[in-house]
C-alpha cells in the first residue's frame, strides 16, 4: 500500500529469512466474500487459487499496519512472509519472483489489497526486504499460485 520507506522498522536486521512451507488449510471464515467493494470498485473473488499466474507490480506495507487485523482476522506481522491480494482465496500460498533482480520467495496470502491501480500484490515488510522491493517501494513481479493438492 505504501512505498514510503519510513513505514518500515528502524532496525532492518530483525528481518530473517525463514522458508515458508505451504500447507493445506481451510478457507478462512473471514475475508472470502464472493464480491466486495473498495473505493467504489467491486472485486470478485476467484473460486480457486489453482492455476493463478500474473505479472505486474508489487508494493509493500509495514509498521503502520503491524499488529492490526488482516482481512482473515489474523494480526498482521510485518516480519512474517505474508501478502495481500485482491481476489485470491484466503489463505493460499504464492511464489513471488522479482523480475528486476531474479529473487523469489513463497508467501502466504492472508489479507486484501493493494487497492492502488496497477499493483497486483502487497507484500509484508519482511517479504519486500528479502525480494529487494523495500528499497524501491515497488517492483515488477511474477506471482504464481502454489498448489499443495497436486491438482493442475
Domain with residue 64: its CATH number is 2.40.40.10
Confirm whether 136 is domain-assigned.
yes
Residue 148 scores a pLDDT above 90: no
Q: Which three cell numbers stand for residue 136?
A: 524501491
- Other CB atoms closer than 10 Å to residue 49's CB: what's the count? 20
Residue 45 scores a pLDDT above 80: yes
Q: 22: exposed, middle or buried (C-beta count within 10 Å: 0-12, 13-18, 19+)?
A: middle
Q: Which three cell numbers stand for residue 85?
A: 491480494
Domain count, the chain: 1
Confirm whether 151 is domain-assigned.
no
Average pLDDT over every residue of 110-117: 94
Q: 78: exposed, middle or buried (C-beta count within 10 Å: 0-12, 13-18, 19+)?
A: buried
Residue 71 CA to residue 79 CA, distance in Å, equals: 18
Confirm whether 152 is domain-assigned.
no
Confirm whether 93 is domain-assigned.
yes
Confirm whether 60 is domain-assigned.
yes
Residue 115 scores a pLDDT above 90: yes
Residue 141 CA to residue 110 CA, distance in Å, equals: 19
Q: Which domain holds residue 57?
A: 5-146
Confirm whether 33 is domain-assigned.
yes
Residue 49 CA to residue 17 CA, distance in Å, equals: 25
3-state helix, strand, coil in the chain (%, to 5): 10, 35, 60
**pTM (predicted TM-score):** 0.87
Amino acid at each position: 500500500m505504501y512505498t514510503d520507506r519510513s513505514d518500515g522498522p528502524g532496525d532492518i536486521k530483525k528481518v530473517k529469512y525463514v522458508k515458508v512451507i505451504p500447507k493445506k488449510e481451510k478457507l478462512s471464515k473471514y475475508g472470502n466474500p464472493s464480491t466486495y467493494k473498495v473505493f467504489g470498485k467491486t472485486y470478485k473473488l476467484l473460486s480457486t487459487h489453482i492455476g493463478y499466474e500474473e505479472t505486474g507490480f508489487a508494493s509493500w506495507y509495514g509498521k503502520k499496519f503491524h499488529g492490526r487485523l488482516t482481512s482473515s482476522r489474523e494480526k498482521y506481522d510485518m516480519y512474517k512472509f505474508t501478502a495481500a491480494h485482491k481476489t485470491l482465496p484466503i489463505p493460499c500460498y504464492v511464489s513471488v519472483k522479482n523480475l528486476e533482480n531474479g529473487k523469489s520467495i513463497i508467501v502466504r496470502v492472508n489479507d486484501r489489497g493493494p487497492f492502488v491501480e496497477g499493483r497486483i500484490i502487497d507484500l509484508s515488510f519482511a517479504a519486500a526486504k528479502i525480494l529487494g522491493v523495500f528499497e524501491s517501494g515497488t517492483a515488477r513481479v511474477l506471482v504464481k499460485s502454489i498448489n499443495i493438492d497436486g491438482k493442475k
